[in-house]
Structure 1
Amino acid sequence: MKGYSNILVAVDLSDEAEQVLEEAAALAARYQAEISVIHVAHALTFYGDFPYYASPLDSELYNQEEIRKILFKELDKLAEPFDITRGSIDVRFGYPPDEIVAKAKHDHADLIVVGSHGRHGIRLLLGSTANSVLHHAECNVLAVRIVES
């Protein structure tokens, strides 16, 4: 089996994100690889206490830097048990598959690790982030099957 030296882990902020990081951290330890994390958010703002997703074209509706700070805080908590520091975490806004593939290419990642819920039927036909990353990445992609709690 090929060794890896630069692993990119794409996470959302769901309860299952830790499962994806656990798998990636185990591979990074096995191959003594560098590990980095990316989280891609859509343009986000808050309406009262509720998150509201807006088009990136509506930049006046949200403050990306404020949202970025909130996301970094959550990602820091998620990554801390795996000894992943802020310098290895990236937060981007946009279409997740495109941003993940672009980050992997820019950083010369040789493996992307993403979560997959293994959906079937119409959800499969509509596509998923994992599926799109798999078909567009220039490196290997590991889809970690999410175990629902």
Structure 2
Amino acid sequence: MSLLSFNSVIVPIDFSEECVGAVNTALELVNSPKQVTLVHVKCPTTYITCGTAYVQLDEAEHTKQIEKHFQQFIQNHQWQELNWTLLTGKPGEEIVAYAKEASASLIIIPSHGYHGIKRLMLGSVAERVVRLAPCPVIVLRRGEETTHH
């Protein structure tokens, strides 16, 4: 246990390796793994465009596949005691809304450290969460792969 302790910690995940460090950091700040909730936000899949063709996807099937992947991710890291939830929408807004609803005391979010055009195209979920969150936010930077531009 650390000097600081939090009752409810939310860790947004996208199943990347950066998320593993964020979850481990969260576990160091709580008394019980049950105080950590992993949150993944998927985009609605009613229509996905490929060039000019539209492909309709089955939302329920897509949700089922992501839930299965989520459970496998949790099992692979032996995090069965953690809570988890799957949300649909814009990641930044959904994470903040969930934090408000859950009365979170902290959000720990990994940053992918995108720069330049990639950042403009993808936006920054971490930045949005920092600006709108109802609680403190810790943004973890990428490790040794970080490049400075």
Q: What range describes the TM-score normalised by the shorter chain of this pair?
A: 0.7 to 0.9
Larger radius of gyration: 2
Tell me the SS of whatever aligns to 2:40: strand
How far did residue 84 of structure 1 move? 3.4
> 1:23-45 CA distances to partner (integer Å, 9 max, x unpaired)?
2222224x777111110011237
Q: Which position in structure 1 is the counterpart of 2:28?
A: 26
Q: Which position in structure 1 is the counterpart of 2:124?
A: 128
Quick check: 1:116–1:143 contact (8 Å CA) kept in 2?
A: yes
Matches within 5 A, 1:34-113: 34-44=35-45, 53=48, 61-80=56-75, 81-85=78-82, 88-113=83-108
- In the superposition, the TM-score normalised over structure 1's length comes to 0.75
Q: For residues 140 and 53 of structure 1, what CA distance do their matches in structure 2 show?
A: 35
Instruction: Tell me how many residue pairs correspond in the alignment.
Output: 135
AA paired with 1:131? E
- In the superposition, the TM-score normalised over structure 2's length comes to 0.75
CA RMSD in angstroms comes to 2.8
Show structure 1 runs of 4+ deviating over 6 A: none
Unaligned runs of 5+ in 2: 50-54
Change (3 A) 1:76 1:32: closer
Unaligned runs of 5+ in 1: 46-51, 55-59
Q: How high is the sequence identity, in percent, across the aligned residues?
A: 30
